[in-house]
Structure 1
Amino acid sequence: MSTTRHLVNRRRRLATTAARTATAPAGEPTAERPGTDRPGHEAELPPPGTEPGDGPEPDGTAPAAAEDTGTGERTADATDTTDATDTADATDTPSGKGSPSARTRRLPVILCLLTVLLGGFAAYAATQASSLRDDPATRNTALTDIARTSEVKGAATQAVEAVFSYDFADPEALDRAVRTHLTGEAVRQHTTMLAAVRDQGPKQKLLLTTTVTESGVERIDGDRARVLVYADQSNTRTAPAKSGDKAAEDERTYAAAMLAVDLVRTDGTWRIANLDTLGAGS
């Protein structure tokens, strides 16, 4: 801006000087500059060969150097104006990166990519859900249904205590327990395991009592379950009196038992369908 102002002032001074020279009569002295008729004016005037405004700018910086193009305009001004015009044109060009038309063309592509990604994620989620449903650990209700787990434990405890207890005075109680709590293969297994008890019970006045001390549900899958049972057994026998004795002697023994039972739910009741002594004898 300071360079442009300097050019304008210089043109005005040149035009004024030329007009005065053309109109002044021949032989008439040229008008002196104001202030040259007082002492010390040399200190106030600019050096010869310079014009007012050629000196440093008010802020202390030298005027920018520029060549005259011959038309009175400096190259620096023309360059600055051209650069500013080109920059404005490039910013306003509709085909620029930030133009609405470019964003409109990219929108369908972005939507297609999102659709593909969402479809792939949905397929992956469906596959993972199916694999989880097929996993036996996921189908195990014992891990999630506390009420059903408690029901199975109670049924297993009641059944084991009933079918493994015997009273010589009421042998029919054992038969009723078998009909109530056993089904399928478990009936045959129980008959084999307690054959000796049934045979010797009346003779020895046997009293067998089984008490479950601990149990744990291994799994529940629909209407089937498997329970691990720990129990204590007490056997009481009345031995025949020896010669010279007035009364018979009672023999009492204790033992621990561990077995796994498989239960099935039929007609709303849990029954033992299989007895597994885990390798122990009867």
Structure 2
Amino acid sequence: MPTPRHHLNRQRRRQALADQPTGLLTEAAPRTRQRPAAGPARGAAVTTERETSDGTAGRAEATRSAPPSGRSAEGRARPRHLVPLVVLCVLTLLLGGFAGWAYSRAGELRDDPARGNTALTDLARTSEIKGQTSAAVAALFSYDHADTGPFEQAGKTLLTGKAVAQHRTLLGGVLAQAARQKTVITTTVTDSAVERIDGDRARVLVYADQSSVSTAGTGKKTGGGKQQSKAEDQGVYAGAMFAVDVVRRDGRWLVENIDTFGR
């Protein structure tokens, strides 16, 4: 039960409240006030003021992390996008440099005469040249006094250029002696090698065996006074090595140069 003292204190408080003026300038301040911070930095402490129930102000600090601003995030993202572009530019420069070097190197290889040799790569043409050259050499350097037609035909159809005069010079003295001694000369190509093929021209190294047999006879008288002819076989065998330059004309390989290496 309240005492008269309590009633007296209550009446005093009511009287004091009734005597206070009211208005916009005299409104009681809110019990809790928060001081806003202008643009707190990342990791900055936010300070708030709060009035306690007994009229004293207290401070409370809370630390929070502010989200990164748009400018800083863009600044960090931009280098990441630039890395692939830089790598692409470097690769483009490297590939361009390699393409230039490869083109220049290919031009040098095409201009090198040794690179134009297809003797080792074009096997079909190499075999064709070897076959026709071997047959031509055998015909050009074989002679039968009893049938000179094949020898003369070979000279007309298998020679061209300066090889015509070279062939006549090489066999001129031999043929004169072969006609007197009725000699049969047989040339057989034992091996050949194509040194170079350059388009429609080629150089062939030839190895050949050559035999020369004379069929001239010596007359002898028999007991009846009759003369009997006896064949005298004087065989000569030798090996030869030389080179010929051939050129393709109308589908055939003709001899245009005979190289006996100074012999």
Q: 1: distance between equivalents of 2:59 and 2:81? A: 48
More strand by share: 2
Q: 1: distance between equivalents of 2:148 and 2:82? A: 91
Q: Which residue of 2 aligns with 1:268?
A: 251
Q: Which residue of 1 aligns with 2:151?
A: 174
Q: 1: distance between equivalents of 2:213 and 2:123? A: 38
Q: Which residue of 2 aligns with 1:150?
A: 127
Greater mean deviation of Cα atoms: 243-252 or 121-130: 243-252
Equivalent residues, number: 201
- Aligned-residue offset at 1:244: 5.8
Q: Which residue of 1 aligns with 2:183?
A: 206
- Aligned-residue offset at 1:111: 3.6
- Aligned-residue offset at 1:260: 0.2
Greater mean deviation of Cα atoms: 149-158 or 197-206: 197-206
SS at match of 1:272: strand
| Aligned-residue CA RMSD (Å) | 2.7
Out of 99, 117, 121, the position equivalent to 2:98 is: 121
What TM-score results when the alignment is normalised by the length of structure 1? 0.64
Q: Which residue of 1 aligns with 2:235?
A: 252
Q: 2: distance between equivalents of 1:160 and 1:176? A: 13
More helix by share: 1
- Gaps (5+ residues) in structure 2? 1-57, 223-227
SS at match of 1:194: helix
Matches within 5 A, 1:124-135: 124-135=101-112
In the alignment, does 2:193 pair up with 1:216? yes
Residues 212-258 of structure 1: per-residue CA shift (max 9 Å, x gap): 00000001000000000000001001344166684241111100011
Q: Which residue of 1 aligns with 2:8?
A: none
- Determine if contact 1:208/1:236 at 8 Å carries over to the other structure: yes
What TM-score results when the alignment is normalised by the length of structure 2? 0.68
Runs of at least 4 residues off by over 6 Å: 71-74
Matches within 5 A, 1:1-282: 85=65, 89=68, 93-95=72-74, 97=76, 99=77, 101-241=78-218, 246=228, 247-280=230-263
Q: 2: distance between equivalents of 1:114 and 1:223? A: 44
Q: 2: distance between equivalents of 1:263 and 1:179? A: 15
Q: 2: distance between equivalents of 1:105 and 1:230? A: 71
Q: Which residue of 1 aligns with 2:10?
A: none
Q: In structure 2, give the amino acid aligned to 1:175.
A: E
- Aligned-residue offset at 1:197: 2.4
Q: 1: distance between equivalents of 2:72 and 2:163? A: 89
Q: In structure 1, give the amino acid aligned to 2:164.
A: V
SS at match of 2:218: coil
Q: 1: distance between equivalents of 2:221 and 2:80? A: 116
SS at match of 1:142: coil
Identity %: 53
- Determine if contact 1:168/1:201 at 8 Å carries over to the other structure: yes
